[in-house]
Amino acid sequence: MLTSPRPAQPSFDDLGTPLSEVTFVVLDLETTGAAPDSAAITEVGAVKYRAGELLGTFQTLVNPGVPIPPFITVLTGITEAMVLPAPPIDEVLPPLLEFIGGAVIVGHNVRFDCSFLDAALETRGYDRLAHRRVDTLGLARRLVRDEVPDLKLSTLARHLRVSVQPNHRALADARATAEVLHAMLERAGTLGVLGLDDLLELPTIRAHPSATKLRLTARLPRRPGVYLFKDRTGRVLYVGKAANLRSRVRSYFGGDDRKKVPQLLRETEAIDWIECADDLEASVREARLIRDLEPRFNRRGKGWRAYAYLKLTLGERFPRLSVVRDVRDDGALYLGPLHSSRAAQTVREAIESSVPLRRCNRRVARSAPITADTPCPPAQLGVASCPCRGHTAEDDYAAVVDAVVQGLRDEPALLLAPLEARMERLAREERFEEAALTRDRAAALSRALRRHRMLTWLRESGRMRFLTATGVVELVDGRLVLAGDTAALPFDAASHVTDRRDVGELLLVARWIERATGSGAARLLGATTAPASPRGGALPSYEIVSRRGMRRGR
């Protein structure tokens, strides 16, 4: 199969090429009709420009091999006598493709011209054109639509006062289109369109009502980093991260249809940014900025407000579980933080379904006798070892509490195994709703233990250094060390537990370690006190695979 010259896959750097360094081939075709499956090419005209300088011209009549309709002759002035001695398209395609090379193809309604070329290429065994394309019709629709009665090439040529008037001949129309392109580029420059990627996105971006603020993006780099939308007082409205700052921020002006975006752009008067070495740094900086600034338009990153903990009241005579908002230095055992009070309540129900902890909240004095006044409902049903039953030995209850402590700290199977057994029994009995409830509780407990274990490990991990493609990544107690901040200092002992706002960053780092080390993108160079991984091994997850069974996975 023959192949047409195919430009290399564009990278960020390619797409970010300044327009002054981009080579454009402006193309125009004359044809015998409007559809490539029933018409043929009669003339090809093309001009090649870079930085406004004419680099070359291509023009030839083409023998279409079919009669030219009279109305086409009237429109273009091309007669059958003119094309009879002309070369067929088979002979025209090779030099035309060589002339185009790897340039960006430009046309007025460029889809029409390229559709005829693609049809001719495919018929003769070539690949379709893979070149990037710029349509002056689309640019005009965004830049001058309100200034002209229509968007015909002749109308635009008159309005923009170009030196060549189109006359339905390929070369003249290509020259006129080239001058229209250059006039459009001048106008686009006022909107911050400076690179090829900007130009390709402009037909979509300019449709946004706040498109005049595109000028705020003119200096944004095509690098990973964090961006900040600010209002006229300098207050930060929104914080985000991107692999390509310029492309991501400009997408808000056309490609982002979230409901909050129009209001955000209306209030935005400045856009700042921080360049980052990689996605990890960008993610961490974003999390810290959202945590510290609490921007009004950010929703993600503020979930720490809803965090809750599951507390085992070891300071009580008969410890029990309760859901609390904060951690205190009271000798209790805390699990969390969990995403919400509801999530914490689900985990509590899972543990209480696994072991017979007391569920009532009566206060039991240290020296008070154990009575059987009015047992609580769980005690009456026999699912809880509550002192209110009157025959709960303290030593027996202490063994239950020890099992819970050990299950939360080191041996999760002590809590999960009873739930698995209950789940399987209920499934065998075809009590599927109860089995599903037990499964959900077991899954919630497994997730909570996994999350708590990872957070505890990171907070106690000391200093770790990883080698990546972008350099050395240094972590201290799970926090990324960034130049110019205090992250190199270990956590304060109290903030290890109580500052819920840091959980988001720790989870980001945990996911990065798992992903980067697993894929080989990062290699551990050294660690001070960090173990190789969190203690206890992997924890299971659960799912129902049919109405008659469940599966335990990892």
The answer to whether 452 is a known catalytic residue is: no
> How would DSSP label each residue in 493-540?
TTHHHH-GGGHHHHHHHHHHHHHHHHHTSEEEEEESS--SS-TT----
> How would DSSP label each residue in 391-441?
---HHHHHHHHHHHHHHHHT-THHHHHHHHHHHHHHHHTT-HHHHHHHHHH
Surface-to-core class of residue 260, CB atoms within 10 Å of its CB (0-12 exposed, 13-18 middle, 19+ buried):
middle
CA neighbor of 310 nearest in space, from 342, 356, 274, 285: 342
Number of helices (H) and strands (E) in the chain: give both, helices first: 19, 17
Exposure string of 371-392, with b = 16+ CB inside 10 Å and e = fewer, is eeeebbebbeeeebbbbbbeeb
CA neighbor of 352 nearest in space, from 304, 302, 310: 310
Surface-to-core class of residue 341, CB atoms within 10 Å of its CB (0-12 exposed, 13-18 middle, 19+ buried):
middle
Q: List the end-to-end C-alpha distance of the chain, in Å, as a whole number.
A: 49
Omega cis (within 30) before 369: no
Bridge pairing between strands 321-324 and 104-107: unpaired
Task: For residues 278 and 242, give the distance between their C-alpha atoms in angstroms, rounded to a whole number.
Answer: 10
CB count within 10 Å of CB 476 equals: 17
Taking a C-beta distance cutoff of 8 angstroms, is the pair 109, 177 a contact? no
Q: Which of 159, 168, 339, 496 is catalytic?
A: 168
User: What CA–CA distances, in Å, run from 422 to 125, 255, 544?
Assistant: 66, 50, 14
Beta bridge partners of residue 230, listed in sequence order:
236, 270
Please give the positions annotated as active site.
Answer: 168
